[in-house]
Amino acid sequence: MQIIFPWEKLNAEELQELAEFARSHKIIIEVGARGLKPERLDIYLAITRLLGAPFLRFVIDDKGYEPEIQEIIHIIKNENQCFSGCRCKYMY
């Protein structure tokens, strides 16, 4: 089952509570978002860490946001150190 959820609207305590519920019920949470911008990537990496999610998926484009390939590469390379504390898998 796939549920679209606005993760960024939850605070850390709510995310932790959700993570504990999911673990206790053997539910695997995968986090996803649209609009690959540095600030959104930071937010969603933090959410992924808090939830212990194995995946972080991004749709690069968003409404009014269609970055060039060089910008995408720049964002991912600059944020690469942020991935180190995350147990999630990523590919680029």
pLDDT tens digits for range 1-52: 666 778 889 999 999 999 999 999 999 988 989 999 989 988 998 898 889 8
pLDDT tens digits for range 53-86: 888 888 999 999 999 999 998 888 877 666 665 6
Helices (H), 1-92: 12-24, 38-51, 69-83
Contact 71, 41 (CB under 8 A): no
Q: Look up tokens 């991935």; give the residue.
A: 83
Q: Tell me, what amino acid is at 7?
A: W
Tokens representing 83?
Answer: 């991935």
What's the pTM value of the predicted model, to 2 decimals? 0.79
Domain ranges of the chain: 31-92
